[in-house]
A and B are shown apart, each in its own frame.
Chain A
Amino acid sequence: MSTMMSTSPESPAGGLREIEFRDAIREAMSQEMRRDPRVFLLGEEVAQYNGAYKVSRGMLDEFGPRRIIDTPISESGFAGMAIGAAMMGLRPIVEFMSWSFSLVAADPILNNAPKMLYMSGGQFGCPIVFRGNNGAGGQLGSTHSWCVEGLYSNVPGVKIVIPATPEDAKGLMTTAIRDDDPVFFLESERMLGMKGHVPEGDHLVPFGQARLARSGDDITLVSFGRPVHFCLEAADALAKEGISCEVLDMRTIRPLDVGSIVRSVRRTSACVVVDQSWSFASPGSEVASIVHRECFDDLDNYVHRVHSVDVPTPYATNLEQEYLPNARRICEAVRACLYRA
């Protein structure tokens, strides 16, 4: 596990200071804006209102309206303009209030940004961070609850980041802003208030390097974003049944840290993928395919997968929870995978 980093609760690697997930994102953005005059933030409500989810709180006061820009309600508009600005050497951070709203900006974010470098023969890169809330936010209904990683991870030319802890949110955001390619940074409204130890100064977490969220010997749980916490909850419950789960937080979907998954599964011989997107042609199915290929001789059972149910996200609170890859469904998958059902 040499490439993976783990944090122990007794001596947190992030230091003693605890801040919220949203503050960790803001700290990364603000520190990078102080460091690099080419970086700026734009989106709906980001300036005067301090962000619909208060991620950009105080940034207008510090950086002024030239660099913290309230836009018209016009996702395709500001995403497309950010591409123009990036072509001219700036490094925009685009906030989608929700990734669900990025669907109306599909042409700029999928058809232009990831292809500009390629189609201009290496001439125009697009160093843009697109960020916002992703996944079920708690009774927002199906049109506002998209997990875009299922759709967007199929597109070449983008990097997809999905942090599970405040410390990683800061470290991955810093790396995202310094990256020269378009980065989709997926936050969860349900996690913005989560507190964690976060280093105060420069903090970078490289892309494509998983975090060991919990070590274990019997089975490897592979997950990313909010469902990592469902996995940890399941692992606690399963420990009482004598099942020892290793939990990998992948941190980035593209690039994917295949090496860490393979090394873990070769040791445990069992794998469950937990992915909040729909199952068909998803990050989860990709992980399963890789594990079957790379660990074919090591596996005691086929890779089991826990996803959201293949229906629009339900509105009712109980149904939404059942629909998501929750701890109960993870426990069932682990038992089945280990023939303990």
Chain B
Amino acid sequence: MPITNAISIEIPRISILDEKGNFDEKLGKGLIPDADLLKLYEAMSSCRHLDEVAFRLQRSGRMGTYPQNMGQEATSLGAAYVLNNDDWLVTCYRENCGLFWRGVPMESILLHWMGDERGNAMPRPHFATPIAVPIGTQMLHATGLAWAAKYRGEKRISCTFFGDGATSEGDFHEAANFAANLDIPVVFCCQNNFWAISVPGKIQCSAPTVAQRGIAYGMPCMQVDGNDIFACVYAVKKATERARAEGKPSFIEFVTYRLGDHTTADDARRYRDQAEVDAWKAKDPLIRIRMLIEKRKLWDDAKQEAMMARIEKDIAAAIERAEHIEAPPRSDVFDYTFEELPADLRTQRETFETTSLGQERASNPASA
């Protein structure tokens, strides 16, 4: 018997607006109307500016550890632009731009990183979940959310974001395997920014693309220029169409780059070459949109200046609100562990102000 080929795979790579400002008219036609493009540009500029301000806040001791989004704004924003308002956006911690687009207030994100649990309470109805800092757990939650929607006969889908490093976690395999085998409408969005803190992509994945990991589960896969808002919108649109029409998952690899450090607790200069960073700076998702809108006569320096003034004012106001929120009441320690406060925790609350937590007979159990 001759050896035959069991399978050949092809993975499309999608790029519409390249780093030089070249635009693929055929693929990009009608994808994002000019008016929306300007709004998306402003959203990305605002997210970028927040990163810069947040970095300074952290360095001056006004905020805890903060992960900058710089360079990766287009990915989650592209997804948020496509998703319906009642779809779930289940993120990790580098998707600020998409969350803001969906209406999550900037001060929620600031509050979270300033170390206030209330920043995680996404104001309803935003269909966004608390920021997931443990790597990968949110992929399973997203699959469960979409599965629940299917169970209830709702059309809602979920879209989840994670990094290249998270595809090494078992959670990725389990979520992808479930979604594919049980027909659950999830859009898996991997932000491949080449670095999991200091660990290079080569140590996470030896295949030529991360995208092909999805092939193993029988999902359609795409590799997308993650610094190209048009390509991001195009890919998520394809994936959400499949999710809605067939109730099935897709996998998207966004090729992008983290221009900043992993978090403010990191110094990426210790492990990355400056030449690599500089090469990616030229591919910045903001620069190419500005080239396009200037070419289309939609933008000029005056407009840029006016926009930045708006952004600076809004961010200053958000910081003001986040920094001046009243500290949470001490009772908050006890309020959210159970839906109803159990007796032993009630005793701990009553003895919280003393030196013997839970030990005093404030509420004598024998007479309870």
Contact = CB atoms under 8 A, between A and B. Distances in A.
Given A87-B129, A266-B366, A80 B339 contact: no
A326 to B, nearest CB: 30
B16 interface: no
Interface stretch (A255-263, A274-282, A329-337): A255-263
Given A118-B336, A122-B335, A80 B145 contact: no
A311 interface: no
Nearest to A123: B121
Contact of B177 (A77, A83, A85): A77
Contacts of A181: 338-339
Nearest to A182: B338
A236 B174 CA distance: 50
Interface stretch (B133-141, B190-198, B261-269): B133-141
A88 B148 contact: yes
Contact of B148 (A85, A122, A266): A85
B144 interface: yes
B320 interface: no
Interface string A107-143: 1100110101111111111000000000000000000
Among B90, B120, B139, B365, chain A packs the most CB atoms within 10 A around the CB of: B365
A129 B177 CA distance: 23
Contact of B339 (A88, A119, A125): A125
Given A76-B171, A88-B148, A294-B366, A119 B140 contact: no
Contacts of A90: 148, 151-152
A81 B140 contact: yes
A80 B144 contact: yes
A118 B338 CA distance: 8
Contact of B145 (A87, A208, A255, A262): A87
Contacts, number: 148
Contacts of B361: 294
B140 A80 contact: yes
A78 interface: yes
Interface stretch (A13-21, A66-74, A238-246): A66-74
A108 B121 contact: no
Contact of B342 (A66, A74, A208): A208
B117 A66 contact: no
Contact of B337 (A74, A156, A208, A294): A156
Contacts of A185: none
Interface in B167-214: 170-171, 174-175, 177-178, 181-182
B70 interface: no
Question: Range of interface residues on chain A?
Answer: 35 or more
B157 to A, nearest CB: 12
Interface string B121-154: 1101000011000100101111111111101100
Contacts of A117: 336-339
A81 B151 contact: no
Contacts of B359: 293
Contacts of B142: 84
A58 interface: no
A256 B344 contact: yes
Contacts of B174: 72, 74, 76-77, 80
A80 B177 CA distance: 13
A96 interface: no
Contact of B137 (A80, A259, A290): A80
Interface of A: 40, 66, 69, 71-72, 74, 76-90, 107-108, 111-112, 114, 116-125, 156-157, 159, 180-181, 208, 254-256, 258-259, 262-263, 266, 290, 293-294
8 contacts: A77-B171, A81-B175, A84-B143, A84-B145, A88-B145, A90-B151, A124-B129, A294-B366
Closest 10 CB pairs of A and B: A84-B144, A80-B140, A77-B174, A121-B121, A81-B144, A180-B339, A88-B148, A84-B141, A258-B365, A85-B148
